Structures are given as C-alpha cells and as structure tokens.
Structure 1
Amino acid sequence: MPSLTISYRNLDPSPALETEVRRRFDKLMKLGRERLIACHVVISAPNRRRQQGKLYSVNLRLELPRGSLPVNRNPPLDHAHEDAHVAIHDAFDAALRRLAEFRRRLNGEIKTHAAKRPRLRAARDSHADEGES
C-alpha cells in the first residue's frame, strides 16, 4: 500500500478534510491502475486575515516507479474553491487525468505530430507568374 502524506498550510488540520482526502486517494488507487509509491497532498488557504472569499488550493505529488508526477490545482476565478472539499475533489480528478495521460505516453498511444512540412511556395509562385503573362 502506498504511503499518503497530508500537510496543511495556513489552516488547522481537519478530520473531515483528511477523511475526504483518504476517500479520494482510495478511489485514485482503484481507478488509476498505476503503481503508486507515495502520494503527498498539501491543502493550503491563502491568508487567515481575509474573512470571505478564501480560496483553497490543493497540490499533489504522486511518486511513481518511473518518476514523480506533480498535480497543482490553484484556485480558479469562479470561487468554486471556497469549499476545501471541492478543491480536493478537483485536484484528485486532475490527478486521474494526469495519470491517464502519463500511462498513454508510456504506452506510446499519444499521437506525435510530424514536423511541419515546408510550404510549396514555388508552385504557387509559378501559377502567379502564368497569370501575369
């Protein structure tokens, strides 16, 4: 079982937030299908002095056998992250997407685009010259 570390910045540890993180982590383990070594979660609130509009941010770092995968979910402008539970939900959804992309990249399933071909300007120029005659 991978280790889970939860840290709090500018807010007190909360059993409700910890329960939410553990629930989302379990779901990530079931759906991720990627072997995790560790998951570090940092839940932060901006400044304690502000009374309303406090937007939470959640940062995850997934440690995989082939490297580390950071997932940063900073507060959006629509104030949906005034609730820390919503911020946690969004961060773990982003982690699932990043894991899926990481897996596709490792399996070679992501399409690589060919280098841009040079434009055939000579053909266009020759047609323009024909019109001038």
Structure 2
Amino acid sequence: MTNEFQVVFHNIEQTDAIAGAVQKRIQKLERYCDEIIAGRVVLDSPHNNHHKGKVYSVGLEIHTPFKEVRVNQEQHDNHAHEDLYVAIRDAFNAAERQLKSIDKKHRITPPHKGGSNFSNQAA
C-alpha cells in the first residue's frame, strides 16, 4: 500500500543520520503492517535544562483503515531520552506494539467447516 510519512524537526538540526534512522524505522513498520495509509513523525527538543542536558521527545501518528495510532514519547525525567536515537527507538517500538494489537483484533480467521474429517471416516 502506498503511504506518506511526514517527518518534522522542531528545535533539532536535520541531519542525514537522524533522517536515515527515522526512515529505517518507518520502513520496518511498513514491512510489518501493510495497512498503514499515512503517518507523521515529530522530533523535538523542547527542554534545554543546563543541569540535565537536552531531553528529546518523539511523537508519532500512524493512520490505518482501522484506527489511528498515536505515540508521544515525552519523558522529561527519562535520562535515556537525552539520546535522540534512543527516543526514536522507544517511540517506534511503542507504535509497533500498538499496531500488533490492532492487527490481532482485525485479523480474519477462516470459519471452521462443518464436522471434522475424523468423524466422517468410519473404522
């Protein structure tokens, strides 16, 4: 399915390395879930605390025919998110878990045919 992802950088310098990391995670989601219609990734560094350093936040919106998945990895006290790549990983992992949950709910199981072959076979 053709889908469009918009990647937005707020208060963060856009580099090829960061854009590449985001694109790699988007491609992984697309391989897992072919029902994705569109999405938006917002990378932000809203907090510049001199004592703690920058803490990054990553927001995701993923649109499927069944549901809209939203992830906001804004964890002010999580020192792991002082690394943008860790924040990206955590956000996409959370989105993947939500997509798996949606996939399980909407997976169509084939109906059972009347009777089994064992009951139809007489010894």
TM-score scaled to structure 1, two decimals? Answer: 0.71
- Work out the CA distance in 2 between the residues paired with 1:99 and 1:92: 10
Q: Which residue of 1 aligns with 2:69?
A: 69
Shift of 1:80: 0.4
For structure 2, the residue ranges without an aligned partner over 5 or more in a row are 109-123
How many residues are paired up? 107
Q: Which residue of 2 aligns with 1:37?
A: 37
Alignment RMSD, CA only?
2.1
For structure 1, the residue ranges without an aligned partner over 5 or more in a row are 109-133
Moved over 6 A (4+): none
TM-score scaled to structure 2, two decimals? Answer: 0.76
Q: Which amino acid aligns with 2:11?
A: N
Conserved in 1, the CA contact under 8 Å of 2:8 and 2:42?
A: yes
Mapping of 1:19-34 within 5 angstroms? 19-31=20-32, 33-34=33-34
- Structure number with bigger Rg: 1
Percent identity of equivalent pairs: 33
Shift of 1:66: 2.5
**Higher strand share goes to which structure?**
2
Structure 2 residue 81 is matched with structure 1 residue 81: yes
